[in-house]
Structure formats: C-alpha cells, structure tokens
Amino acid sequence: MSKCILIGATGFLGRDLLSELIKQEEEIHVVEHKEKINTSDHYKIIKGGISALSTELINKLKPDLVFHCARPVMPGLRWAGRKIAAQWAARMNRSLIRSMQRCDLYPKLIFASGSLMYGNNPYPRDEESVLDPISFARQYAKGEKPLLETCNDKKFPVQILRFPWLLGKGSWFGWFYLDSIRKHQAIPLFGDGQNKMHFLDVKDAAALMYRYAKQAKTPGLYNVYSDQLLTQAAFVEKVSKVFGVESKDHKQIFSHGIEKEALEAFHSNIELSSVYTEILESFKYRSVEENLKRIRDDSK
C-alpha cells in the first residue's frame, strides 16, 4: 500500500483517479479547494487547496505519491480568466515544488498535462518533440512552467503525463457534443474533419496515471495515449451513429460563434507517439464505441 495525496479530486480526470486509488486500496488524502468533497471512509480530506500542502504537513503525512490533476479555470472571464488562472497556477505550482523539495523524503509528483502543448503538426509527436502550445494550452503552459522546469532538471522526482482528448461525460465532450445533442439534435463538424485526433477514455487515463506512478521509475515526460487514432470526421460519424443524431457544420450549431481557441483545438492535428512504450503496450483499452455507448446511457 502506498500513501497518496490527490490534488484535483473533483475535476474531470481527478474523479476517476480517486475511484482508481480507492479500487487499488491505497491510503489516500484528497485536497479540497472550492468544491466540497464528500466525506468517506476511503480517504481523508486536506482543506485549503494546494497552499495547504506545506513542508510540515507533507513531512507529517510522508506520502509516496502526489497526484496533481488540478487546473484552475475562470470560464466566465474567458481569455482574461485563463490568463489570471495561469498566473495563479504558476504561483501555486512553484510553491508546491518548494514545499516538496524541503521535505525529509521526496515524494514522487505525477502531473496531468495535455497534448495541445505540442501544437498542430502533420507528424507524430513524442516526448523529445519541441513544444509549440496552441489554443487553451498557451495559457496552461504558463501555469505548468514550474513543473516542467523541475521535471527537466531531473533533480526531483516529477513525472508529467501528456494525455490526448479524454473521452467522458464531462469536459469538452459535454460542452460541445452532449449540449449540442440536447439543444439541436445534432453534433458539430469543424472544417473538413480530416485532422487526426487521439482519444483515450477518462477512466483508462486514470488507470494509466496510476500505472505510470507505480511502474515508471524515472522522472520525466511521458505521452499517454491509446490506439484510438481517428480523423475528426470519423469520430463525428461514430458519435452520430451511437447517439442517433446527424452531424452539421459547426457554424449551423454555434450560430453566435465560439472562441477562437476552441476552433483552433478542434482543427488541430496532433498524433502522439512515445519513446517509452512498455506500459502502454500491456494496457487493455476501452474502444471509442464502448465509451460513447456508456456516455449515452449515463446521460439519459
């Protein structure tokens, strides 16, 4: 049994990671920020957000693993909100690193990032590829900078996991697809749909995050993806078939327009690869169709 701290337990990925840690019977401490976390016999709650994780507290708890799935957002302010949130994230992440580096024993920090950090590119991107953040990642990158710098210097055990499009009921799929199905009985297609997209079920992502924490021995960057590489058009066709709705040009659905960052993301071509394949090769993925049917049934 490992001792774990989970930051971001109420978020899109964090909820499923908490379930995974409970299933694995780990000793869990979850960090509560603004959104209240229900009490449970399976974990203990640390109130006060990331700033509560002082050197003194970490020394007291002696965690083996610190999972970081938090990404502050201020959706009501859009671009300005993301800029403020990125500044806040950078400050909090820098403080967290300092607190952990002063500990008697270093816990491993595992952070969830995204593939938009690689930018729009016709060729596969592995961990040695140059970063070129696009869309929302331009601001996320600023918040992640302290973690990336620490990861690159190899002096402290930080693992950054770069995930592709995570497929689940919430987040982007909920905003752009489920909401469109409910309101318009249709789903959007952005452009000609020939850009390639990697998909990974959010539950699989949580299981892989745990697996990397336990099995990947060295700090560094890891691309975490599945064998589900589709063009946007092929993905839309699968969604259309499972949910029984037609696809339309996004301009017909979002008649008032959408943010340019969202358009850039949905038009981007990001194919992931990895120089570390052992953990991925032994993992059994859920298929896109299976994931979509579960989302459909859970949304009724």
Residue 211 lies in a domain: yes
Q: pTM here? A: 0.95
- From residue 139, how far is each of 86, 94, 120, 182 by CA, in Å? 6, 16, 16, 30
Residue 292 lies in a domain: no
Residue 132 lies in a domain: yes
- The band of 75, judged by pLDDT with boundaries at 50, 70 and 90, is low
Residue 230 lies in a domain: no
Beta bridge partners of 111: 68, 160
* pLDDT for res 177: 96
How many structural domains compose the chain?
1
What residue numbers bound the domain in which 110 lies? Answer: 3-167+200-225+272-283
CA distance 170 to 177: 10
Query: Whose CA is closest to 48, among 27, 30, 66?
Result: 30
pLDDT in tens, 99-127: 999 999 999 999 999 999 999 999 999 99
* pLDDT for res 82: 73
Evaluate if residue 83 carries a pLDDT over 90: no
Residue 16 lies in a domain: yes
- Which CATH number fits the domain that encloses residue 277? 3.40.50.720
Residue 70 lies in a domain: yes
* pLDDT for res 214: 96
- The band of 77, judged by pLDDT with boundaries at 50, 70 and 90, is very low
pLDDT in tens, 228-284: 999 999 999 999 999 999 999 999 999 888 889 999 999 999 999 999 999 999 899
Residue 73 lies in a domain: yes
Residue 247 lies in a domain: no
